Amino acid sequence: MIKIRLSWQDPVSGRQRQPLLNLPVALGSAFEQMPTQINGLAVSRMVIADNEVSGFQLLLIALADQLYAIDSPLSAGTFVNQALVRQRQLIRGGDRLRLGQVEIGLQILREPGSKQSFQTLIQPAHGQVSLGQASVGQVSSRWAPQPQAQVANGTASQGAGVGLPGKPQEEPTVQGNTANGNGAQFTSPPLESPPPVVLPLTLAPLPQGELLCPADEQAAVSQGCSRQVGFLFMRRCGRTTSEGCPHCRLQAWATAPRVERAYYEGFGRYQPGDWGYELLLKAHHQG
């Protein structure tokens, strides 16, 4: 089994953190908002103590022997190597993730003797591949994957649709390595045994011209928008409608306030050398 190591500096304490985690991995600021399991796989949940990070912001998951970062549409924006993640993005070892103000390094560790690449999502009975709305919690419907038979090396036929409801279950013919191409670091050698059935997930595309605030989505109506908003202090948006919302109106909520925040270098950071670190340290010792 392959594990990943994330490394980042805790913005509050300044300590370096380097946990070794099994996939899938959920990242966010609220432990209870992250799913405990996805499709039978236990989720490693990591709390990033940054007030710009959403409760459940990012999911690192193996799909078709490749590692993907899936960003919550309600998040305040996740960047992979300075590029904004739209829906999902292929990531590799050595990539740098940025959630809020926290930059996270990614390292992939393979256990010795392991031939298999990633522990992927095997499609369950009746072909319902789902990340599970219930388990994902308040993530909007955009997260819901759409089952779609993917052609590996162009040999699998669409009709063979593994797990398409109402059709007899058939395994597609997959020849060679399923993880060729862009995921070079995750490519495993050709397997001797028949490769596992892999059903990649495809996320529904974002509608054109839609407001970023998902206030019109059913998931958001009951709980309110879960995006982290604000300038001087971050908070959960909580709006049930996008009407009059300055963040939706600006359409550039992810970057606009941060421009001004950069006037104050190190705003919200209390690390060694920063103002307030001594006080915080003293309080921690007393507490």
Work out whether 283 is an interface residue with other proteins (CB under 8 A): yes
Alpha-carbon 82 to chain mean position: 16
Instruction: Establish if 14 lies at the interface with other proteins (CB under 8 A).
Output: no
Asked if residue 121 lies in contact with residue 129, where contact means CB atoms within 8 angstroms, the answer is yes
Q: Which is nearer to other proteins, 44 or 242 (CB)?
A: 242
Q: Does 47 bind other proteins (CB under 8 A)?
A: no
Closest Cα partner for 88 from 59, 118, 110? 59
Task: Please count the other Cβ atoms lying within 10 Å of the Cβ belonging to residue 276.
Answer: 11
Residue 243 and residue 252: Cα distance in Å, rounded?
A: 16
Are the CB atoms for 191 and 208 separated by under 8 Å?
A: no
Contact 162, 122 (CB under 8 A): no
Binds other proteins by CB under 8 A, chosen from 120, 129, 247, 248: 247
Residue 238 lies near other proteins (rule: CB under 8 A): yes
In this structure, what DSSP letter does residue 130 have? -
Q: Which is nearer to other proteins, 168 or 264 (CB)?
A: 264
Say if residues 223 and 72 touch (Cβ distance below 8 Å). Answer: no
One residue of 14, 93, 196, 230 binding other proteins per CB under 8 A = 230
What's the rounded Cα separation, in Å, for the pair 132 and 144?
Answer: 7
Q: Is the dihedral of CA 228, 231, 234, 239 positive or negative?
A: negative
Among 1, 109, 184, 279, binds other proteins (CB under 8 A): 279
Count of CB atoms situated within 10 Å of the CB of 107: 14
The minimum distance between CB 225 and other proteins, in angstroms, equals 10
* Residue 221 interacting with other proteins (CB under 8 A): no
Site for other proteins in 145-204 (CB under 8 A): none
- Residues 49-68 as x/- pattern, contact with other proteins by CB under 8 A: --x-----------------
How far apart CA 14 and CA 287 sit, in angstroms, is 18
Taking the complex as a whole, the smallest distance from the CB of residue 286 to other proteins amounts, in Å, to 7
Instruction: Give the x-and-dash track for 259-278 against other proteins (CB under 8 A).
Output: -xx-xxx-xx-x----xx--
Considering only CA atoms, which of 260, 252, 268, 259 is closest in space to residue 76? 252
Whole-number Å distance between alpha carbons of 56 and 269: 21
Considering the complex, state which of residue 17 and residue 96 has its C-beta at the smaller distance from other proteins.
17
User: Does residue 15 bind other proteins (CB under 8 A)?
Assistant: no
Minimum CB distance to other proteins, residue 193 (Å): 52
Take residue 102 and report the two structure tokens written for it. 């926290």
Given the rule CB under 8 A, which of 24-32, 64-72, 86-94, 244-252 is the region that contacts other proteins? 244-252
Q: How far is the CB of 57 from other proteins (least distance, A)?
A: 18
What is the contact surface with other proteins in residues (CB under 8 A)?
12, 51, 224, 229-233, 235-236, 238-241, 243-247, 257, 260-261, 263-265, 267-268, 270, 275-276, 279-280, 283-284, 286-287
